[in-house]
């Protein structure tokens, strides 16, 4: 790939200058805090790093060794990460995450207000920790995605109609003054289809709901979209027509398709997860047309340095 390639061209995300359009996507890895510093530092050549999902409170904690941003100790730990990434010339945002409730009981208005306030507190902590901004996780099967799903959201109050919870979270996080992105996965079960998640299989009803959601997101610094498993550029073109801001496309991209997405204007940048797990120097490998290593998924969540740093 030449240095003039679309992926390697610098771009401006609001007032944040990115050296290239290769974004590191959030990847949950379940590692202790002391390993995260080296993990993210080795990937600082990405145009932008988006961290693994980081809990906004201790209610709930879905599984061991996932990070948070609700204590002074966590803020200090993340500060070590951001300081080194910035020293190496990188840019890094933290993904703010609420896993939802198990069992999935209906939240009371008070619980919703508490969750929204937790996002604001975590965003303020993100600024204290030195992050360049935050990404709100509205993807997957977690709390905000549950609220967006017409098959799962059976509320009869104001949180039944439209993306009310997501918009409340965005509005409160924006009051901290930080840059805010959102990650959505309209095609979730086209990505991770199992018999256990029929409610997430995309159809006309769910995709229409996501169309309405995207139309409401003009205040964002960027929109991060995860596409279907079977790569389909048109899936991103659908939302490019609805969102005029900075769009990051994710899932199923190879080098040539990522280049085409940026060159065509369908996406402003492309994010990679598995490629960054196995290739900390992914940007260099793309630039030099080098062969990419393949991640061993057996080490994704084992907790030690092997298959991680």
Beta bridge partners of 222: 181, 246
Q: Nearest CA to 194 among 232, 229, 153?
A: 229
The predicted-structure confidence for 193-220, as pLDDT tens digits, reads as follows 454 566 667 777 888 889 999 999 999 9
How far apart CA 47 and CA 24 sit, in angstroms, is 8
Q: What is the DSSP string of 29-62?
A: ----HHHHHHHHHTTTTSSEEEEEEEESSSS---
Exposure on the CB side of residue 73, measured as CA atoms within 13 A:
3
Residue range 11-299, CATH number: 3.20.20.70
The predicted-structure confidence for 84-103, as pLDDT tens digits, reads as follows 999 999 999 999 999 886 66
- The answer to whether the CB of 54 falls within 8 A of the CB of 39 is no
Beta bridge partners of 224: 183, 248
- The answer to whether the CB of 146 falls within 8 A of the CB of 138 is no
Check residue 154 and give its pLDDT: 87
The predicted-structure confidence for 27-71, as pLDDT tens digits, reads as follows 987 666 788 999 999 999 999 999 999 999 998 777 777 899 999
Check residue 300 and give its pLDDT: 65
The structural domains of the chain, with segments of one domain joined by +, span: 11-299
Alpha helix segments (H runs only) across 33-191: 33-41, 72-87, 109-128, 143-148, 164-174, 188-191
State the catalytic residues.
Answer: 142
């Amino acid at each position: 790939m030449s240095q003039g390639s679309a992926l390697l061209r610098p771009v401006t995300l609001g007032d944040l200058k990115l050296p290239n359009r290769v974004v590191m996507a959030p990847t949950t890895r379940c590692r202790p805090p002391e390993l995260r510093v080296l993990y993210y530092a080795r990937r600082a050549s990405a145009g932008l790093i988006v961290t693994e999902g980081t809990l906004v409170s201790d209610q709930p904690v879905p599984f061991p060794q996932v990070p948070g941003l609700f204590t002074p100790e966590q803020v200090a730990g993340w500060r070590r990460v951001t300081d080194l990434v910035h020293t190496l010339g990188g840019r890094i945002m933290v993904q703010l995450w609420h896993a939802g409730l198990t069992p999935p009981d209906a939240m009371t208005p008070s619980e919703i207000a508490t969750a929204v306030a937790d996002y604001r507190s975590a965003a303020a902590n993100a600024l204290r920790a030195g992050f360049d901004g935050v990404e709100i996780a509205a993807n997957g099967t977690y709390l905000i995605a549950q609220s967006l799903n017409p098959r799962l959201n059976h509320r009869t109050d104001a949180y039944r109609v439209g993306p009310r919870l997501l918009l409340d979270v965005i509005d409160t996080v924006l009051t901290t003054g930080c840059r805010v992105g959102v990650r959505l996965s309209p095609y979730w079960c086209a990505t991770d289809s199992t018999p256990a998640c029929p409610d997430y299989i995309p159809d006309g009803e769910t995709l229409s709901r996501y169309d309405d959601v995207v139309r409401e997101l003009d205040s964002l610094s960027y929109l991060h979209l995860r596409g279907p498993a079977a790569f389909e550029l048109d899936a991103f073109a659908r939302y490019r027509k609805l969102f005029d801001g900075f769009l990051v496309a994710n899932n199923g991209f190879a080098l040539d398709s990522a280049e085409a997405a940026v060159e065509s204007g369908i996406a402003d940048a492309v994010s990679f997860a598995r490629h960054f797990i196995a290739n900390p120097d992914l940007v260099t490998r793309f630039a030099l047309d080098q062969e990419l290593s393949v991640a061993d998924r057996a080490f994704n969540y084992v907790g030690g340095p092997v298959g991680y740093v």
